[in-house]
Amino acid sequence: MCQTGAWFYIRPLLLHQRQNMMVVHNNKWHSLGVFTLAFAANFAAWTLFSIIGLQIRADLDLSETAFGVLLATPILTGVVASLPSGMLAERLGGRIVFISQTVIVAFSLFLLPYANTFGQFLVIGLLVGISGAAFASGVTYVSQWFDRSLQGTAMGIFGAGAAGAAITNLVAPAIILEYGWRSVPTGYGVLLLLVAIALRYLTKPDIQRARRQPPALLAQLEPLKELRVWRFGLYYYFVFGGFLSLTLWLPQYYVGEYGLDLQTASFVTLLFTLPAAVVRALGGWFADNLGARRINWAVFWVCLVCLFFLSYPRTTMTIHGIEGSLLLTISINLWVFTFLIFVMGVAMGFGKASIYRIIYDYYPNHIGPVGGLVSAAGAFGGFSLPILFGLAADLTGIRSSCFMLLYGVLAGCMVLMFYGIKIDEFRQRVNQALADDFLRL
């Protein structure tokens, strides 16, 4: 009788707990899907200058360096805002921060068609760049819904929203040809307002924020003192910064190097941007199951090989033979170039996912600030590399100098990663030896 009475009280509690677990399970995939689409819309706005920038460049007669500055300006805000965005998301909730950023970007896009001078484009570009910080707030929101075993997959799926760059490459040129470039920002602004409304009514509030008090500011910044965090940031500088900078740079590279028109160049660039974004979800799964560090190391080797060939400029050699001279031309044709870019894009997609899985492995309770700093480092790559690409092209007169720069950055990443792994292994051996000595005592 006692057991029956106890079961009478316990059974409703168990049913309630089971219902809550089912609600959380359904909410996490639903929220992940909605936020991924919202991030894609923000990313499309963030890379908008890669297409309309070509028209602005022609109107204002910009140099290579000035064009690089124009492309990099929205990215600068993403650099500056990513860390504060991650910290605010940890304190206020990733959902409210993400929605606020989306609304600000929408209204800044409405101002863009009215700009006429280079300075005005730069100022408005800084406001549009707030969209780049959406990753830091979004990943803070998304990661809280999933267990440790699915973190790489979840953050990889969310990061696949970088396919928004492909949307810009596909849609913006067609709108420009039909209505002119000034109609593109207005359409994007309307889209982002609709996205903000959808986020408000189709997603649930943060669950972690309801469970605990917001962390103190100094506690949030504590992990940033570790050199390991900055090393992760350098890796992301290459895989994400390199991806973002090439997304911005490739359309004009195809136009200048291979003589393609804007629409064709934008479409071919899709073969880099779309796979690099979509495979990020698959890269997260591989990082969960095969090890994030192993995936990251393989990514670097694949990119190194691709960049070696991409860096080689078009060359004509004169060979003086016995009976005359022979001209030998060495160059990468359009199809080989596109294939190498495609392979490197896929590798970068895997790399972006594996790095954030590594971050969760080391800092599961500090995804906001650590992820924000690493995201800022990647955005800084997207800001600085286009400017460096332009400077290198102006100084050397070699268009493939952009790939030479990336090759050097990657070589530095690989050296640091190699010695970073050695240092971690040494520390583990020392700690194990100290633990064994303590047990003997």
- Kindly report, residue by residue over 57-70, the tens digit of the pLDDT: 888 888 877 887 88
Number of folded domains that form the chain:
1
Domain with 153 in it: 22-207+215-440
Q: Tens digit of pLDDT for each residue in 184-231?
A: 999 999 999 999 999 888 888 876 554 455 566 666 666 677 777 888
Q: Is residue 117 part of a domain?
A: yes
Q: What is the mean pLDDT of residues 133-153?
A: 78
Q: Is residue 2 part of a domain?
A: no
Q: Is residue 133 part of a domain?
A: yes
Q: Is the pLDDT of residue 135 over 50?
A: yes
The structure's pTM equals: 0.70
pLDDT at residue 208 in the model: 57
The answer to whether the beta carbons of residues 81 and 132 sit under 8 Å apart is: yes
pLDDT above 70 coverage of the chain, percent: 85
pLDDT at residue 438 in the model: 61
Q: Is the pLDDT of residue 109 over 90?
A: yes
Q: Is residue 116 part of a domain?
A: yes
Q: Is residue 14 part of a domain?
A: no
Q: Is residue 405 part of a domain?
A: yes
Q: Is residue 9 part of a domain?
A: no
- Which of the residue ranges 12-21, 116-125, 359-368, 424-433 would you say has the lowest mean pLDDT? 12-21
pLDDT at residue 433 in the model: 66
Q: Tens digit of pLDDT for each residue in 256-310?
A: 888 888 778 888 888 888 888 778 777 777 777 777 788 888 999 999 999 999 9
Query: Please, which pLDDT band fits residue 327 given cuts at 50, 70 and 90?
Result: confident
Which CATH number covers residue 152? 1.20.1250.20
Rg, C-alpha atoms of the chain: 24
Q: Is residue 16 part of a domain?
A: no
